[in-house]
């Protein structure tokens, strides 16, 4: 009988899988993906190599799982915020930036691995992660385009503006420490203020944008 996805057994297996991904992220951060082995992951997860193979078939699958866990989580949250038409576009952009920054409280090791070792993925794994990345980028670009249309974002290429946003938030994982002076929430709030201020059109150009929008 096929077990239900929300059954206790399925829940325990998912917890075990996430624990293995936690161990893999730790190993990849310490040794680098290319120098890490399946045995390293098994040891970090307190498993035999045979026990590990019940959950993962290779270290590349672990790398895929790390990337997939980050993107699936943020896609759900960002998608919900970006599509909430009860919020102004400025507030939605602000909330998305803050949300992406808050990931660092729990997933810094994952984010570092995803940033530094993504290029080691090949074939179907690489294509699937590219697809998830494209979905996230599309949401952000659409949100920025909406901000341009409403005159709250400078009238420039949304793709270029999205790269600016991702560049700032994604690289946060390289220096952020959860035990540091500032929380990820506080950093996200500051980043959002700086980015929205920096992306705002000059007063004269904003007037022209608003006039064009009503013509």
Give the tens place of pLDDT for each residue, 30-47. 999 999 999 999 999 999
Distance (Å, whole) CA 103 – CA 184: 8
Half-sphere exposure of 187 (CA within 13 A, CB side): 21
pLDDT tens track for 160-192: 999 999 999 999 999 999 888 999 999 999 999
Any idea which of 89-93, 175-179, 182-186, 204-208 has the lowest mean pLDDT?
204-208
The residues, ordered by sequence, that sit 6+ positions from 185 with a Cβ below 8 Å of its Cβ are: 98, 101, 102, 105
Q: Give residue 1's pLDDT band: very low, low, confident or very high (50, 70, 90).
A: very low
Q: What's the pTM value of the predicted model, to 2 decimals? A: 0.83
Position 204 confidence tier, pLDDT thresholds 50, 70, 90: low
* Mean of per-residue pLDDT scores for the chain: 88
Residue 76 pLDDT > 60, yes or no? yes
């Amino acid at each position: 009988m096929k077990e239900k996805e929300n059954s206790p057994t399925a829940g325990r297996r998912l917890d075990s899988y996430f624990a293995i991904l936690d161990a893999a992220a730790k190993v990849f951060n310490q040794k680098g993906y290319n120098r890490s082995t399946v045995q390293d992951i098994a040891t970090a997860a307190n498993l035999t190599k045979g026990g590990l193979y019940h959950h993962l078939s290779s270290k590349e699958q672990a790398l895929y799982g790390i990337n997939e866990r980050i993107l699936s989580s943020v896609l759900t949250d960002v998608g919900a915020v970006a599509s909430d038409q009860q919020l102004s576009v400025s507030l939605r952009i602000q909330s998305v930036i803050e949300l992406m920054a808050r990931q660092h409280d729990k997933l810094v090791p994952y984010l570092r691995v995803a940033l530094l070792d993504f290029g080691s993925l090949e074939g179907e794994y690489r294509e699937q992660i590219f697809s998830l990345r494209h979905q996230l980028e599309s949401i952000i670009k659409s949100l920025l385009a909406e901000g341009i249309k409403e005159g709250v974002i400078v009238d420039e290429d949304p793709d270029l503006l999205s790269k600016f946003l991702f560049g700032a938030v994604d690289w946060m994982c390289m220096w952020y420490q959860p035990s540091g002076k500032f929380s990820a929430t506080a950093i996200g709030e500051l980043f959002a203020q700086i980015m929205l201020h920096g992306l705002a059109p000059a007063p004269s150009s904003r007037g022209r944008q608003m006039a064009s929008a009503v013509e």
